[in-house]
Amino acid sequence: MSALPRRTALGTAVAATIMGVEFPPAKAEATGTPVGLWRTFDDHTGKERGTVRIWDDRGALYGAIVSVRDPAEASKVCLPCRDDRKDQPVIGLNIIRGLKKDGDSWSGGEILDPETGNVYRCSMRLADDGKKLVVRGYIGFALIGRSQTWLRTG
């Protein structure tokens, strides 16, 4: 790179900083991770069920229910849960725990089905340029399980 283009880029960055202009993050940074809000859907009806927030805590992904579509569900607690989530409110319930980056996917953690209280091994991967998240819950081997596709929101 010659000195002229480098100085021009630096000058543009300095001018933008002085003027208070912020550049949006690169698309790869914005969609290269499951961190964020995701709309979930009922397997049988295809209707929207609610929203899950996924966050990173020291290199592992976690997720909690932040809203539900059906107002009657909003006040429910996880009666069938058999661990520390038993009797916890569905809103705020941690359903994803401990997934770690594994190539182009995240795995090694678990996902809770709050309707049954069952905990499954979990893997997930981004699809459609980060707009979709394919979440797979399984017992034992990933071949024997169920996948859902969640849509990025927000």
Q: What is the pTM for the complete model shown?
A: 0.78
Give the whole-angstrom CA distance, residue 140 versus residue 120.
Answer: 9
Query: Average pLDDT for residues 18-42, to the nearest whole number?
Result: 64
- Judge contact between 130 and 32, C-beta under 8 A: yes
Q: In the chain, what are the domain boundaries?
A: 26-153
Cα-based distances in Å from 28 to 24, 34, 106, 112, 149: 11, 12, 17, 29, 20
Query: Average pLDDT for residues 75-103, to the nearest whole number?
Result: 98
Residue 87 has pLDDT above 70, yes or no: yes
- The helix (run of H) or strand (run of E) holding residue 149 is strand 145-153
What's the pLDDT score for residue 11? Answer: 39
Query: Average pLDDT for residues 22-36, to the nearest whole number?
Result: 58
Tokens coding 78? 């996880």
Give the whole-angstrom CA distance, residue 34 versus residue 125.
Answer: 8
- CATH code of domain 26-153: 2.40.128.520
Per-residue pLDDT tens for 53-79? 999 999 999 999 999 999 999 999 999
Q: Which residue has the higher pLDDT, 13 or 141?
A: 141
Model confidence at 31, pLDDT cuts 50, 70, 90, reads low
Lowest model confidence (mean pLDDT) among 15-19, 110-114, 129-133, 136-140: 15-19
